[in-house]
Amino acid sequence: MAESMTERKIHFDPTINLGHILTAGTFLVVAAAGYATMDARVSSLEREQKTQKTEQRETVVNAETRLLARITEQRAAMDQTQVRVADDIREIKTLMRDGFRDLDAKLDRKADKPGR
């Protein structure tokens, strides 16, 4: 039983053989390739993000320009409407004034006629 315990213990052998070197070399190559691939992907994503930001800015600027143009058109139309309404009000006031003058004149003529 004592022998089986000693046989099961882990041994450390300080020798370096070709398998160890190949394993370490393969690990380093795979790690470097993984880093390079990941770096390329990150760079690609950063470029794509910059492109999207530029496109987004252009879209926002275009939308703002269109909105400002529409607002300007609406203000111009509203100003024209206000001018037309003011003109219509002046015309109505003039018509009412003239109508009241005519009515006043008719009432004065009727009051001046005897017998009625």
Domain count, the chain: 1
Flag whether 36 is in a domain: yes
**DSSP letters along 27-87, please?**
HHHHHHHHHHHHHHHHHHHHHHHHHHHHHHHHHHHHHHHHHHHHHHHHHHHHHHHHHHHHH
Give domain status of residue 68, yes or no.
Answer: yes
Q: Where in the sequence is the domain holding 51, given as residue range(s)? A: 18-112
- Does residue 59 sit within a domain? yes
pTM comes to 0.49
17-32: pLDDT as tens digits = 999 999 999 999 999 9
Within-domain flag for 6:
no
In a domain, 90, yes or no: yes
pLDDT in tens, 55-109: 999 999 999 999 999 999 999 999 999 999 999 999 999 999 999 999 999 998 8
